Amino acid sequence: LISVRFSRTRRDGEPPLVNGWIPFLGKALEFRKNAHGFLAAHKEKHGDVFTVLIAGKYMTFIMNPLLYPYVIKHGKQLDFHEFSDQVAPVTFGYPPVRSGKFPGMDEHIQRSFRLLQGDNLDNLTESMMGNLMLVFHKDYLDGESEWRTESMYQFCNSVMFEATFLTMYGKPAHTNRHSGMVTLRQDFVKFDNMFPLLIARIPISLLGGTKTIRDKLINYFHPQRMSTWSNTSGFIKERAALFEQYDCMGDVDKAAHHFAILWASVGNTVPATFWAMYYLLTHPEALAVVREEIHCVLKVSGLEADHNQDATFTREQLDSLLYLESSINESLRLSSASMNIRVAQEDFSLRLEGERSIGVRKGDIISLYPQSMHMDPEIYENPEMYKFDRYVEDGKEKTDFFKDGQKLKYYRMPFGSGSTKCPGRYFAVNEIKQFLSLLLLHFDMEVVEGQEPCSLDSSRAGLGILLPATDVQIHYRPRQAREEE
């Protein structure tokens, strides 16, 4: 490994600098292998704020969640989009939005995110419900009624990928499902496996056939093809109309933007769905409470599942599923490992609590690593344990979590923070709720006995929801079929 000597020395007022001769790439690899352990060890030695050189970048980690608000509210001097606008185009293959070539586009894109939230969520929810039932029926419920075996990740991936795709982009003319969906999903997985390397800026030309696969994925969204699709979400329609306003934008560039949204909408949602399902199925007491809650909600609205009618859920019904929501949030706490990054726009002094402040230099990266907070035993008792009702108190959502005797403003951050917080977060939690509710209503399902507990694969630490290290075998059969026996 190449070793470099830090050319930088710590100035007065700056955080401790982890200094000396260190392997240049070594720190980056060590970080990726076990980011949580790496940061905990540095915190032990250097305190709750310190600077490390990782892959050629000076990164200052703010480890104490009581200090998070001071970073999150610094919108102007600490910018997120500078980073994403460099990395996303290279990863997904479109020209940088903020290059000056596309005046006004960035603002429009930011505004389009409202179409994933608020009242717009009603249409998305209804459409997702229909698409989930379509895929569940065609691929898993119709036909034979005996027990079948399947891999759990595979199951989540095939259902959520297609149902989310149909909800976002719509369906083809004259039929309900897109041809080539299986190939599209398989190509997506191949691309996704290379995602951590692309984000680390390894040139795509060095990654075997990844460029060919990405070109194929992008081509799926060619504007001519998309124009024949119907039931497209307002969000994608508005973005497609926006791209049409820029003559200098080629068809392939437009398609690459749509492909990036496909990644954003399923890249994290599929593993998040897997963990939510895995923890529920392996915790019978949680499963019983959540199942009961779902049946109650349907009963109250006089819509209990019967043999002839597919029970579905409205958005209000989904909102009222308190224990289900807590169980999903608990699995997000345990499986998310995203890093929140801000780039200093100038040399300045970042005010922390009281009289405390730290010197930051232009171009430095300020990082929050919420996994350290999610696994802090002072905030979450027995943090390694899955407690499905951790976020319920007195029949309401629990929002009081403490550190050093002080109430935390931020205690669960799988979706990032501040102005760059994931715009799809409400839709994401909603669709996982829908998936699980339908699963519990319409299937008998169990994890095949004798398997090792599933662990996290940390190779995408810093980038979002971690994947499982191995897949899990499940048995299932349509529930209705059993009741009719």
Q: Are 298 and 305 in contact (CB under 8 A)?
A: yes
Q: Site for ligand HEM (CB under 6 A): which residue of 51, 420, 437, 480? A: 420
Buried b (16+ CB within 10 A) or exposed e, 320-348: bbbbbbbbbbbbbbbbbbbbbbbbbeeeb
Q: Site for ligand HEM (CB under 6 A): which residue of 417, 434, 437, 458? A: 417
What does the alpha-carbon distance between residue 398 and residue 390 come to, in Å, rounded to a whole number? 8
Q: What Cα–Cα distance (Å) separates residue 119 from each residue in 22, 217, 242, 314, 387?
A: 52, 31, 22, 13, 32
Q: How far is CA 433 from the centre of its chain?
A: 15
Using the rule CB under 6 A, is 421 a contact of ligand HEM? yes
Element (H, E) at 278: helix 269-281
According to DSSP, the β-strands at 3-5 and 21-23 are antiparallel
Q: Site for ligand HEM (CB under 6 A): which residue of 265, 326, 371, 430? A: 265
Region near ligand HEM per CB under 6 A, out of 247-255, 336-344, 363-371, 376-384: 336-344
Q: Site for ligand HEM (CB under 6 A): which residue of 65, 89, 370, 424? A: 424
Choice between 84 and 473, CB closer to ligand HEM: 84
Q: Are 248 and 438 in contact (CB under 8 A)?
A: no
Please name the amino acid found at residue 411: Y
Q: Site for ligand HEM (CB under 6 A): which residue of 133, 465, 466, 472? A: 465
Look up residue 439 and give its two tokens.
Answer: 């699963």
Q: What is the DSSP string of 172-215?
A: -TTSSS-TTHHHHHHHHHHHHHHHHHHHTT--GGGSTTHHHHHH
Q: Which of the residues 425 through 454 are near ligand HEM (CB under 6 A)?
A: 427-428
Q: Are 363 and 341 in contact (CB under 8 A)?
A: no
Choice between 125 and 420, CB closer to ligand HEM: 420
DSSP, collapsed to helix, strand or coil, labels residue 148 as strand
Choice between 93 and 464, CB closer to ligand HEM: 464
Size of the site for ligand HEM (CB under 6 A): 24
Using the rule CB under 6 A, is 264 a contact of ligand HEM? yes
Choice between 184 and 264, CB closer to ligand HEM: 264
Using the rule CB under 6 A, is 464 a contact of ligand HEM? yes
Using the rule CB under 6 A, is 84 a contact of ligand HEM? yes
Using the rule CB under 6 A, is 269 a contact of ligand HEM? yes
Using the rule CB under 6 A, is 272 a contact of ligand HEM? yes
What does the alpha-carbon distance between residue 291 and residue 84 come to, in Å, rounded to a whole number? 40
Choice between 110 and 228, CB closer to ligand HEM: 110
Binding track over 53-82 against ligand HEM, x by CB under 6 A: ---------------------------x--
* Lookup result for tokens 């005996």: 146
Q: Closest separation between CB of residue 51 and ligand HEM, Å?
A: 20
Q: Are 271 and 294 in contact (CB under 8 A)?
A: no
Q: Site for ligand HEM (CB under 6 A): which residue of 140, 415, 443, 476? A: 415
Q: Closest separation between CB of residue 110 and ligand HEM, Å?
A: 7
Using the rule CB under 6 A, is 120 a contact of ligand HEM? no
Q: Closest separation between CB of residue 422 and ligand HEM, Å?
A: 3
Alpha helices, DSSP H only, in 359-409? 370-374
Closest residue to ligand HEM using C-beta atoms: 424
Binding site for ligand HEM (CB under 6 A): 80, 84, 116, 264-265, 268-269, 272, 336, 338, 340, 414-417, 420-424, 427-428, 464-465
